[in-house]
């Protein structure tokens, strides 16, 4: 992870460290940014300069989405400035990185803060998601955890997919992240033996202004936490105004642990694996207290997706990662759109597609990614290893 921060997207072969096993045949390559500089300002500025065109395009795309769901244009700058204030108060180092990225990309920091606070901005107008991700984890077997999830979002946002690598401080762990260009984090893994999966939730207390963005909470956990307990403490320290669930998985080389940390303005709850070591999450609260304030999308696909994962969960216990992908290979025609495809005739803000399938390799502190849905992920050469 000591690559020149100014370098453009790397090839697939470069994603495998020297001395490691050879990669499979080249897969579709996502843009990658590596920088081991521990200084957040230098790191952020390098990223902004290297990926400025993509960051600016992401800001424009989110402006279009906010307009489509009814966020008033005059509210965008106040929302962005409030996000800036919350990030600067809660995580000054991450604010420094964000501000430097904005500067490197030629943007005011409040505009880039809108991308990081996109969940919070959408919550201000009650925009709930129909797609939005299914996660499955198994920690009940020998060895490292088995984990996999889909990332469902608007197809127009596919261009924003970005892989990043950095070191969390001068002596901190290396961290590898999948995110959107300009967002500080989403799904990731650290050399401290901790990984994070990410699913959005909706609660009736969401939307009261802009709090600490949940994407920034995910980044803070990846940078600083080494255990589930530490991740929970970080989540509880943030004042949030939108809900999400961060499924945190850890492995120290001998023991695995996991918990889904449900974060909401109404509180933070911790959901543990079942007796067989399975932990499954879609887009509704599993904690019974927080579930009282649940706002699920009208069609309720989150419940059908969760039921599908539960019924077929044994696939995740198999040592073959191909079987984990099978778990997610279900569509609307199967009664559970885990693998999500757009519906013809709907406007873009009502269309979802599975844009990424990703698992966490906790033993090697790497991500295993397929740039698309699980129904197109059968062949080994469609996967990227970062």
Q: What is the DSSP letter of 294?
A: B
How confident is the model at residue 349, as a pLDDT?
A: 72
Task: Record the tokens describing residue 66, joined without a space.
Answer: 């906010």
d(CA 268, CA 212): 14
Note every long-range contact of 230-233, with CB atoms under 8 Å and residues 24 or more positions apart, other chains counting.
231/194, 231/196, 231/259, 231/261, 232/259, 232/261, 232/268, 232/270
Segment 320-379, tens digit of pLDDT: 999 999 999 999 889 899 999 987 777 777 777 999 999 999 999 999 999 999 999 977
What average pLDDT does range 168-193 have in this prediction?
Answer: 95
Q: Is the pLDDT of residue 1 over 80?
A: no
How confident is the model at residue 171, as a pLDDT?
A: 85
How confident is the model at residue 2, as a pLDDT?
A: 34
Structural domains in the chain?
35-123 (1.10.10.2120), 135-385 (3.60.60.10)
How confident is the model at residue 18, as a pLDDT?
A: 34
Q: Is the pLDDT of residue 25 over 80?
A: no
How confident is the model at residue 131, as a pLDDT?
A: 61
> What pTM did the predictor assign?
0.91
Helices 92-105 and 73-90 pack at an angle, to 10 degrees, of 130
Buried b (16+ CB within 10 A) or exposed e, 200-237: bbbbebbbeebbbbbbbbbbbbbbbbeebebbbebbee
Q: Give me the phi and psi of 250, to 5 degrees please.
A: -130, 155
Helix, coil or strand: residue 172: coil
Q: How confident is the model at residue 247 (pLDDT cuts 50, 70, 90)?
A: very high
Q: Is the pLDDT of residue 13 over 50?
A: no
Segment 26-56, tens digit of pLDDT: 444 799 999 999 999 999 999 999 999 999 9
Q: How confident is the model at residue 8 (pLDDT cuts 50, 70, 90)?
A: very low
d(CA 118, CA 372): 22
CB 69 within 8 A of CB 349: yes
Q: Is the pLDDT of residue 15 over 50?
A: no
Task: Give me the chain's average pLDDT, please.
Answer: 90
Q: Is the pLDDT of residue 17 over 60?
A: no
d(CA 38, CA 40): 6
Q: How many angstroms separate the Cα of 11 from the Cα of each of 152, 176, 365, 372, 384?
A: 25, 16, 19, 18, 10
How confident is the model at residue 297, as a pLDDT?
A: 59
Task: Record the tokens describing residue 246, joined without a space.
Answer: 């961060």
Q: How many CA atoms lie within 13 A of 360 on its CB side?
A: 35
d(CA 332, CA 335): 5
Segment 54-94, tens digit of pLDDT: 999 999 999 999 999 999 999 999 999 999 999 999 999 99
CB 317 within 8 A of CB 333: no
Percent of the chain exceeding pLDDT 90 equals: 79
Q: Is the pLDDT of residue 282 over 60?
A: yes
More confident position, 191 or 381: 191
Task: Record the tokens describing residue 84, joined without a space.
Answer: 């800036």
Segment 148-164, tens digit of pLDDT: 999 999 888 999 999 99
How confident is the model at residue 5, as a pLDDT?
A: 37
Residues in the chain: 386
Identify any residues that bridge with 245 across adjacent strands, giving them in sequence order.
199, 262
More confident position, 198 or 381: 198
CB 166 within 8 A of CB 175: yes
Q: Give me the phi and psi of 298, to 5 degrees please.
A: -55, -40
How confident is the model at residue 21, as a pLDDT?
A: 40
d(CA 266, CA 203): 8
Sheet with 32-35: strands ordered across? 32-35, 161-167, 174-180, 187-190, 194-200, 244-251, 256-264, 267-271
d(CA 251, CA 335): 34
CB 215 within 8 A of CB 179: yes
How confident is the model at residue 129, as a pLDDT?
A: 62
Other C-beta atoms closer than 10 Å to the C-beta of 25 total 9
Q: Give me the phi and psi of 38, to 5 degrees please.
A: -75, -15
């Amino acid at each position: 992870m000591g690559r020149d921060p100014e370098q453009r997207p790397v090839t697939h072969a470069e994603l495998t460290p020297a001395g490691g096993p050879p990669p499979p045949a080249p897969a579709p390559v996502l843009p990658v940014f590596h920088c081991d500089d521990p200084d957040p300002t230098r790191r952020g500025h390098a990223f902004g300069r290297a990926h400025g065109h993509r960051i600016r395009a992401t800001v424009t795309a989110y402006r279009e989405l906010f307009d489509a769901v009814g966020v008033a244009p005059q509210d965008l700058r106040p929302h962005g400035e409030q996000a800036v204030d919350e990030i600067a108060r809660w995580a000054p180092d991450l604010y420094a990185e964000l501000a430097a990225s904005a500067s490197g990309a030629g943007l005011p920091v409040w505009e880039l803060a809108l991308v990081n606070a996109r969940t919070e901005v959408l919550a201000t107008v009650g925009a709930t998601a129909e797609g939005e991700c299914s996660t499955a984890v198994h920690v009940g077997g020998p060895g490292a955890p088995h984990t996999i999830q889909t990332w469902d979002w608007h197809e127009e946002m596919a261009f924003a997919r970005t892989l990043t690598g950095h070191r969390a401080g001068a002596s901190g762990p290396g961290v590898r992240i999948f995110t959107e260009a300009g967002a500080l984090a989403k799904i990731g893994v650290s050399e401290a033996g901790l990984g994070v999966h990410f699913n959005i939730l909706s609660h009736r207390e969401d939307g009261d202004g802009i709090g600490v963005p949940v994407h920034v909470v995910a980044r803070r956990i990846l940078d600083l936490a080494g255990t589930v307990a530490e991740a929970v403490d970080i989540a509880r320290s943030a004042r949030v105004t939108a809900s999400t669930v961060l499924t945190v998985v850890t492995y120290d080389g001998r023991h695995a642990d996991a918990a889904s940390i449900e974060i909401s303005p109404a509180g933070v709850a911790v959901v543990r694996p079942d007796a067989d070591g399975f932990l499954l999450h879609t887009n509704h609260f599993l904690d019974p207290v927080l579930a009282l304030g649940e706002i699920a999308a009208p069609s309720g696909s989150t419940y059908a997706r969760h039921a599908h994962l539960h019924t077929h969960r044994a696939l995740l216990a198999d040592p073959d990662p191909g079987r984990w992908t099978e778990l997610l290979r279900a569509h609307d025609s199967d009664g559970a759109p885990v693998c999500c495809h757009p519906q013809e005739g709907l406007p873009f803000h009502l269309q979802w597609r599975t844009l990424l399938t990703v698992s966490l390799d906790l033993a090697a502190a790497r991500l295993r990614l397929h740039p698309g849905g699980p129904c197109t992920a059968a062949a080994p050469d469609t996967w990227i290893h970062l």
